[in-house]
Amino acid sequence: MRIRLSLIKFLGVCVVFAISSSFISSPFDISKNRDDHPQAMEFNTDGLYYAELYDYIYRGHFENIELKREDMQFLMIFGQYLRAFGKQCPAALPADKVEIMEEVCATEEVTRNGYGDVLSRVCVRWKWVGTGLYARPDLYDAKMEVEGMQRSDALRTMMEMVTDPNSMGNSVDLMHKAKGLQNDMIQIFKINSCNSPGIRRFEENLKLFALNKPSLRMQGTSKYASMKKSGGPSGSQDFNALIDDLVANQSKTWSFNRYTPGSISGVTIVSKDPEGRPMSLKANYSYKGFGSSANGWVKIDFTNGLPNCIYFFDFPNNCKTPNSSIVAAYAQGNYGK
């Protein structure tokens, strides 16, 4: 039982931090919109892995978010944002800033065989240590509330992971998302000033989403919501270029293989919708793995004429989310012939 509980603790808490260290919407009352900030402020998310999610949070359009606040993925995003801000924007923190803490193993239980070889290591006691990074106290408190929810739900999360027939693929997918998030946190404060009104609005709504409270809602519609409503373009499209861009972008999160740019070939329209737009595309590509070149295939499914899921040959049941900036460019006709 002690081993099981330790494993649950590890998966429920440490995975979120270890994998990323170096949204169904929450209900809210539309009538409580608080629109007391200028609508002209800007928050740039173009090119970021989670660009669409960040934009919905910034605008306070929580109804478009496909994550729940208690999801491990949201906690990973929230925690890494606080760390990135603490590292890259320390001068922008308030005087009452608080240190970001993390839980590390204090005592391990080691099992050895008769020859002294280590068979297993299980943490039996944990402790909190400071990271040397700091955060706004209200944001950190909101993050800790979400973390508490994740801890209390660790057993269910563990069982879902164990019983999921595609658990290996999902674990790899989480690693890809963590790497994409790391890249975002490197870029986000290069394209947005630490003290900008846009960053402040994003942070406030990030906190409000975490606390399940009504958002600071902006007028207008996100370009990502607009493109999903209007759908994809009609007419002849350069699918080779589209697939090349989508795969090249996804490959930034790969752990081992390296995509060979421009290697897309054999593009096939598997199926079309009633308007003649693709519902599914399939193509071949080349990559380098462990020093040698190899070939694989990629399949892209479309919803309302827009790329919605990317599937690779090695994990054919794992839907990878296409880069929303590329999808937006496709929706605007930038890949038309």
| pLDDT in the model for residue 178 | 85
Q: Which long-range contacts (CB under 8 A, 24 or more apart) does 255-262 make?
A: 255/172, 255/175, 255/176, 255/179, 256/289, 256/290, 257/287, 257/288, 257/289, 258/287, 258/288, 258/289, 259/285, 259/286, 259/287, 260/285, 260/286, 260/287, 260/288, 260/293
164: pLDDT confidence band, cut at 50, 70 and 90? low
Averaged confidence pLDDT in the chain: 85
With CA atoms as reference, report the closest residue to 200 among 273, 142, 136: 136
CA-based torsion, 162, 164, 166, 170: positive or negative: negative
For the record, the structure tokens of 115 come out as 């020859």
Please, how many CA atoms are within 13 Å of residue 268, restricted to the half-sphere of its CB? 10
| pLDDT in the model for residue 168 | 54
30: pLDDT confidence band, cut at 50, 70 and 90? very low
More confident residue, 294 or 159: 294
Whether 310 and 164 have beta carbons less than 8 Å apart is answered as no
Q: What is the per-residue pLDDT across 283-309, written as a single tens digit (0 to 9) for each?
A: 999 999 877 899 999 999 999 999 999
Helix (H, G, I), strand (E, B) or coil at 110: strand
Which of 21-35, 202-216, 279-293 shows the lowest per-residue confidence on average (mean pLDDT)? Answer: 21-35
CA distance 186 to 202: 17
Q: Is the pLDDT of residue 314 over 50?
A: yes
CA distance 293 to 90: 44
CA distance 36 to 22: 37
| pLDDT in the model for residue 254 | 87
9: pLDDT confidence band, cut at 50, 70 and 90? very low
Q: What is the per-residue pLDDT across 117-148, written as a single tens digit (0 to 9) for each?
A: 888 889 989 999 999 999 999 999 999 999 98
Residue 21 DSSP label = -
With CA atoms as reference, report the closest residue to 297 among 249, 251, 255, 265: 265
Burial letters for 154-193: b for 16+ Cβ neighbours within 10 Å, e otherwise? beebbeebeeeeeeebbebbbbbbbbbbbbbbebbbeebe
Burial letters for 35-69: b for 16+ Cβ neighbours within 10 Å, e otherwise? eeeeeeeebbbeebbbbbbbbbbbbbbbbbbebbb
Q: What is the per-residue pLDDT across 92-119, written as a single tens digit (0 to 9) for each?
A: 999 999 999 998 999 999 999 988 888 8
